Structure 1
Amino acid sequence: MSYFRKKFMEISVKAVKDVEKMTQEQKLFTYDGVAYPTALCSSEVFKALESFEARSDDVIIASYCKSGSFWIGQIVTDLVITSAKKHEPHKLSEELLLAEYPYLEIGDPEKYQRMKSHRSRRVLFTHLRADKLPKSVFKNKAKILMIVRNPKDVAASFFHFSNMYAPYPSHDTFGTFFEAFIKGEMPFGSYIDYHCVWNKYIDEENVMPITYEEMKENTALGAEKMAKFFELNLSDEDIQSVVERTTYKAMSDNAKKTYEEFGDCLFHEGGVSDWKTLFSQENNQEMDMVFKEHLAGTKVGEMIKYDVYCKT
């Protein structure tokens, strides 16, 4: 096992062990009005997170669960490492860059003190709503890549993931899962609330929104946009090399070595419109109604292209 995935494996293995004696209800706890996975998050960590000091050159990948953050985040991480090797090799420490559990809100309360010694650029992930992030993120204008994916494919992917990943509550049927999904009784809360909050930040100069669907359609173009936003100064050849290293096949082949038993569920290849195999007519009608009520007409809603990806 590579050194730089050690913390990820430690926390993941402990989380799986911790939930062995938990009921499905105990797998979630509520903090500041949002549900979180008990085995991965804690109130102590959230309190410690408030003091986290973001840097202006921090790279933050923000997404709701199962929106493609592991895949797109790997592309971003590879872009950052490629740029550092090319322009500032003296600043690069891959061990430190990848030493912590990648999600900002998961770890131990001392994590943020350790991260002070990490060299720039730091690559961070988060499933937190914008209003739950440390105030320093927007105050210091850390650069945020905001990933958006259509709600029906998110729900389909989340259902499969929840039934493979022990720290998350499982569901016998998609119907019971969908009910919890609509109510926001999910790890990291409601899809609708998440995107309604992030919609308020979409025009901030340090935020770049991008959709999972456009990344699937043209990965190279998306990688080029991200490299430009993060000011990485990479050539077309550099970007193409990153794209080739981060295809599903390339990542899947490496997943077992890098993430051991968690590789299969982390790098499941999510397609576009996979939801059609799971959604009933009633599910479709309810999701259409909820989306129309809360997100239709917003900038995030327009990005999602609901009529293209979510209509039967």
Structure 2
Amino acid sequence: MANCDRESVYLQLPQQIKSNVLVEGNTVLPGFVKKRYINGIRELNVRGTDVFVITWPKSGTTWMQHMVVQIIRGEEQGDDQHLFRKWIFLEHSINVQDTDSEGQYTLSEGQDSTDPRLFKTHLVPRLLPRQLTEKTPKQIFVARNPKDAAVSFFHFCNINKALPNYAGWDEFLDQFCKGLLPHGDWFEHNIYWWERRNETNVLFIKYEDMKKDLRASVLEVSQFLAKSLTDEQLDNICENVTFNNMRKNPNVNPDSEGGLGTNWKKSNANHLTFLRKGIVGDWKNWFTVTQSEKFDELSRQKLAGTGLSFTFE
């Protein structure tokens, strides 16, 4: 996490992105996060039945969202509601009913009546609802190795109008290493949730482990959510949440969701898509040897003494 105040953060940002971000304290947020909602998010009335999927961007968020819905609700025949409509994106104003001139944070009609309520968020820990540590909602943090997460987020910034433009990979990586990308410092996110991994209502799960053994991961998540699955249900979920099947499913692939499909900076004819590759090790196509070595040293310093490690291929 960058050790500086709001003004110092702005000075370190590339000039061309300053108009498309919000700086809260020393954390950079996407421009779609409304400053007037931040305190309301902190004071959100959390229920013990809520489920939160929390990630640094492009770390398997949609994958986990689809898995959780399948486990909790099963396959609903005739259900044509897009996956994203089943979840409340905590910091996105699309889910907020702004009924107050002061910007009161109130969930939109219908969002507050579901049970369990399903939340997804990329907010850094200090901006999350206070009651996450006071009550016992289920909190799932998906961690992805920082090199692949960085590469995937770089591509996402290239295509999504809601995110800033970077001059290139070198500039983007420099901002990552300073902890100044939208949604905050990767290390702050991951170390915080790793330190909470032994709490009974927190599940810390790695993207790479999900790729290595999807069936075991589905079982782990279902047990965490206290949902029993038959062998048939387990087989169906494993099939439904594969990368290729999610990409082909118009009710899951964000490319097909209204708003996102028209929110790309470039045409999908250029093969730019929300669900891009979904692999481990793509970072090797982007990091130079020197960049990789410097990044490894930064990671060693940041993660020293935590016991947190990752698979990179």
Q: CA deviation at 1:257?
A: 4.0
Q: Corresponding residue for 1:293?
A: 301
2:276 to 253, 268, 272: 268
Q: Report the identity percentage.
A: 24
- 1:67-216 equivalences under 5 Å are 67-82=59-74, 99=85, 102-107=88-93, 108=96, 109=98, 110-112=105-107, 114=109, 117-216=112-211
Using the alignment, how far apart are the partners of 2:208 and 2:300 within structure 1? 20
Q: Deviations over 1:195-217 (max 9, x none)?
A: 23223322222111110001111
Mapped to 2, the partners of 1:231 and 1:94 lie a distance apart of: 26
| Bigger fraction of residues in helix | 1
Gapped runs of 5+ residues in structure 2? 1-14, 99-104
Cα 1:53–1:94 change in 2 (3 A) is farther
Stretch moving more, 223-232 or 70-79: 70-79
- The letter for the 1-side match of 2:54 is A
The CA RMSD measured in Å over matched residues stands at: 2.7
Contact kept in structure 1, 2:87 and 2:120, CA below 8 Å:
no
Residue deviations 1:160-188 (CA, integer Å, cap 9, x gap) = 11111122122232111110111112111
2:28 to 29, 32, 35: 35
Count the aligned residue pairs: 276
Name whichever of 214-223 and 192-201 sits farther off: 192-201
Moved more, 183-192 or 23-32: 23-32
Q: Is the contact made by 1:162 and 1:169 (CA closer than 8 Å) also made in structure 2?
A: yes
Task: State how far apart, in whole Å, the 2-side matches of 1:116 and 1:52 are.
Answer: 13
Instruction: Tell me, in whole angstroms, the C-alpha distance in 2 between the residues paired with 1:71 and 1:111.
Output: 27
Q: Which of 222, 225, 234 does residue 229 from structure 2 map onto?
A: 234
Q: Which 10-residue stretch deviates more, 273-282 or 290-299? A: 290-299
Q: Structure 1, unaligned stretches of length 5 or more?
A: 1-21, 86-92
The secondary structure found in structure 1 opposite 2:148 is helix
In the TM superposition, what is the alpha-carbon distance from 1:251 to its structure 2 partner? Answer: 1.6
User: Which whole-Å CA distance do the structure 2 matches of 1:37 and 1:191 have between them?
Assistant: 15
Tell me the secondary structure at the aligned position of residue 29 of structure 1. Answer: strand
Amino acid at match of 2:88: P
Q: How far apart are the structure 1 equivalents of 2:118 and 2:244?
A: 23
Equivalent residue number for residue 90 of structure 1: none
Give 1:298 shift: 1.2
1:63 matched residue in structure 2: 55
Question: Residue 40 of structure 2 is aligned with which of 48, 62, 82?
Answer: 48
Q: Secondary structure at the match of 1:112?
A: coil
The one-letter code matched in structure 2 to 1:129 is V
Q: How many angstroms does 1:95 deviate by?
A: 6.7
The letter of the residue matching 1:63 is T
Contact kept? 2:22, 2:35, Cα under 8 Å? no
Contact 2:194–2:204 (8 Å) recurs in 1: no
1:105 corresponds to which letter in structure 2?
A: E
The TM-score normalised by the length of structure 2 is 0.80
- Using the alignment, how far apart are the partners of 1:33 and 1:100 within structure 2? 31
Distance 2:25 2:239 in 1: 41
Query: How much has 1:127 moved relative to structure 2?
Result: 0.8
Checking the alignment, whether the CA contact within 8 Å between 1:49 and 1:112 is kept in structure 2 is: no
Q: TM-score, normalised by structure 1?
A: 0.80
SS in 2 for 1:139: coil
Which residue does 2:10 correspond to in 1?
Answer: none
Q: Secondary structure at the match of 1:250?
A: helix
Amino acid at match of 1:67: S
Q: Residue 17 of structure 2 contacts residue 166 of structure 2 at CA under 8 Å; is this kept in 1?
A: no
Q: Supply the distance in 2 between the matched residues of 1:101 and 1:43 (Cα, whole angstroms).
A: 21
CA distance in 2: counterparts of 1:119 and 1:208, whole angstroms: 22
Q: Distance in 1 between matches of 2:143 and 2:28?
A: 20
Q: What is the CA-CA distance between 1:115 and the residue it aligns to?
A: 6.1
Deviation of 1:223 after TM superposition, in Å, equals 0.7
